[in-house]
Structure 1
Amino acid sequence: MAVISIDTKAKQPPTRDLPSSKSLPEALPKPKQSHDHPTRSNVNTNASLFFVGTATTILEWEGLRLMTDPNFLHAGDHVHLGPGVTGTRETNPAVNLEDLPNIDAILLSHYHADHFDEKVEASLRRDLPIITTPHAKAHLSQKGEDSFTAVSALDFWESLTVNFDSRTPTPAEQKDTAKPQIRVTGMPGTHVPPGPGNFTRAINDIIKVIPPTNGWMVELGYSSAPDSEDAFKSGYRIYISGDTLLFDDLHKIPEIYSSHTGKPIDLMLIHLGGTTVPGPKMPLLMVTMDEKMGIQLMKIINADLTIPIHFDDYDVFLSPLSDFRKAVQEAGLDEKVVYLDRGEEYKFEVRK
């Protein structure tokens, strides 16, 4: 298993183009609202998930900030998604890229401009750790002098451990030898309709409009021996679907991670929206889940809680969040979902 180490005490600007006159914020903006678990009070919360917009979230735990799929364009901005395919953003992010506090690492599901826009690609510091797909690493690492230098690639079922220096421990915590650690595992995903002999897949292999994508299993926990895989004890599991459609390999996830195997999934971040290509005026192909697929995935994964993201930020989304809300209600799953607006957070506890 690959290992990367992050020094969270070495605070560096999140962007390369931060104006010299602008000081780096110490924290994220105060959330518009904080949400707890819908059926029980999280009195001992020690972690949070801040929703920026589209698939961009910021996880904060033990002094580390992990950002997913950074996209910070504004309403009216355009993204190029492949030959003849563009999207227009219809919302604003909850915070601007240049107003972020220090970001320690990025989790990038795939190399698509609505998940890693041109401004982000131009602005992020080149030594920022990025965990992504082999396809995305090839693009990010082969830019000559402008290459990103700390990119790690994970294919399906491959794992990587993140060791990091956390905040200064309290005297009581200093007696505990367990150190915070994150384990990231690539989960299966497909951004194009699955199936053998699929014409769309064959065409995409030629024109390459839709890149390969990963889901992720992010396990937050502690280890008394950071160099030993067996010493890691997960205290919270987050499954991130990525821009996948439903396909058979997703059923392998609960075979490994579930309450039945002793590895329950605490939270699922589900990418929705019913994204269409080449666009809303000609919706020939759906490449992310709509509300019906979302309900099916909830039943497959059976996470304790689901938070929908990636649902209305671009004009290529044809399945709004209201469709998913209705489907959740009809399925009797209301107590298994928390809805975050941009600028809101979900607080939870990582068990020790």
Structure 2
Amino acid sequence: MTHLGGPTVLLELGGWRILTDPTFDPPGRKYKFGWGTSSIKTAGPALQPDEIGPVDVVLLSHDHHADNLDDRGRDLLTAAGTVLTTRPGARRLAASNVRGLGTGETTSLDAAGKEHLSIQATPCRHGPALSRPVTGPVIGFALTLGHASTVSVWMTGDTVLHRPIRRLARQLDVDIVLMHLGNVRFPITGPLRYSMNSRDAASLLALLGPRLAVPVHYDGWSHFSEPTNHVRTTLDRAAGVRHLVTWLEPGRPTQL
């Protein structure tokens, strides 16, 4: 697993090279997210696309926010083997290598020299109750190798900790959970939150009980309202779950 920055992670799993939410633009630019919201990218990627090698699969939680798919990340999609995203996202991207999934749907991938890979779209709510018409559809991904019952990696996607996520956490047997955090807020919507914070993450881990947890997508953008040091301190001190958390150094491949 190599964290490239933001939500972007390269997973090398069962012979597959899997990239999550590609973001490779340099820092400094302001991006509009709609409905009066925006964010400035404050940190660039640890590696460039030409430094990470070929990509078999892209897991794109949603295509309509630049902190999950920016311009250089979008350019990478055409060279990837398969891109999995939401159904509306697949229609917008309109490419032959893109598959759209609804929450709960599963697709499978097979290739010579690689283990059978099953990928299920998991629920996300990218904001408070009733916000989906504004924030748009988002999904996470649960990856299973072969015909195992254990999920190798669960990427939560951008979501708050709501009932479907809690219910799923009680059901899944997960090796590694890739948690999107950041406590996203915007001035125009005040205290409303659009992603999990570190306390939510600790609660999720208590329900899920994975073998390992890897926090991502908690820094590098101005709309993250929880300081990085607070994220780390909260999770490193969280009773009962702190031993599960692994922090990745951006750009450095880590065997998990």
Global fold match (TM > 0.5): yes
Size of the aligned set, in residue pairs, is 254
Structure 1 range deviating more: 235-244 or 51-60: 235-244
> 2:97 matched to 1:182?
no
CA distance in 1, matches of 2:190, 2:22: 25
CA distance in 2, matches of 1:51, 1:105: 16
Match of 1:253 in 2: 168
Deviation at 1:248, TM superposition (A): 0.8
Among 112, 133, 136, the residue aligned to 2:86: 133
Which blocks of at least 5 consecutive residues in structure 2 are unaligned?
A: none
Among 115, 119, 132, the residue aligned to 2:68: 115
Match of 2:198 in 1: 291
Among 249, 262, 274, the residue aligned to 2:183: 274
Deviation at 1:256, TM superposition (A): 3.0
CA distance in 2, matches of 1:334, 1:123: 35
> 2:108 matched to 1:161?
yes
Among 141, 149, 155, the residue aligned to 1:240: 155
Deviation at 1:95, TM superposition (A): 0.7
> 2:219 matched to 1:309?
no
Deviation at 1:285, TM superposition (A): 2.5
Structure number, greater radius of gyration: 1
Structure 1 range deviating more: 184-193 or 122-131: 122-131
Deviation at 1:344, TM superposition (A): 2.4
Match of 2:242 in 1: 334
Asked if the contact 2:150/2:174 (under 8 Å) is kept, the reply is: no
Match of 2:138 in 1: 213
CA distance in 2, matches of 1:92, 1:127: 21
The alignment's TM-score, normalised by the length of structure 2, stands at 0.91
CA distance in 2, matches of 1:233, 1:346: 23
CA distance in 1, matches of 2:243, 2:20: 25
CA distance in 2, matches of 1:82, 1:187: 24
Runs of 4+ in 1 over 4 A off after TM superposition: none
Q: Identity across aligned pairs (percent)? A: 24
RMSD: 2.1
Deviation at 1:235, TM superposition (A): 6.5
Residue 302 and residue 127 in structure 1: after superposition, are their counterparts in 2 closer, same or farther (change >3 A)? closer
The alignment's TM-score, normalised by the length of structure 1, stands at 0.67
Deviation readout 1:45-91 (Å, 9 max, x if unpaired): xxxx1100100001113442110000001221232222432211111
Which blocks of at least 5 consecutive residues in structure 1 are unaligned?
A: 1-48, 142-147, 167-178, 223-231, 258-263
Give SS of 2:153's match: strand
- The one-letter amino acid paired with 1:61 is L
CA distance in 2, matches of 1:106, 1:323: 30
Give SS of 2:254's match: strand
Among 124, 138, 141, the residue aligned to 2:77: 124
Higher relative CO (CA 8 A, sep ≥ 6), structure 1 or 2?
1
Asked if the contact 1:79/1:86 (under 8 Å) is kept, the reply is: yes
Deviation at 1:328, TM superposition (A): 2.1
Give SS of 1:74's match: coil
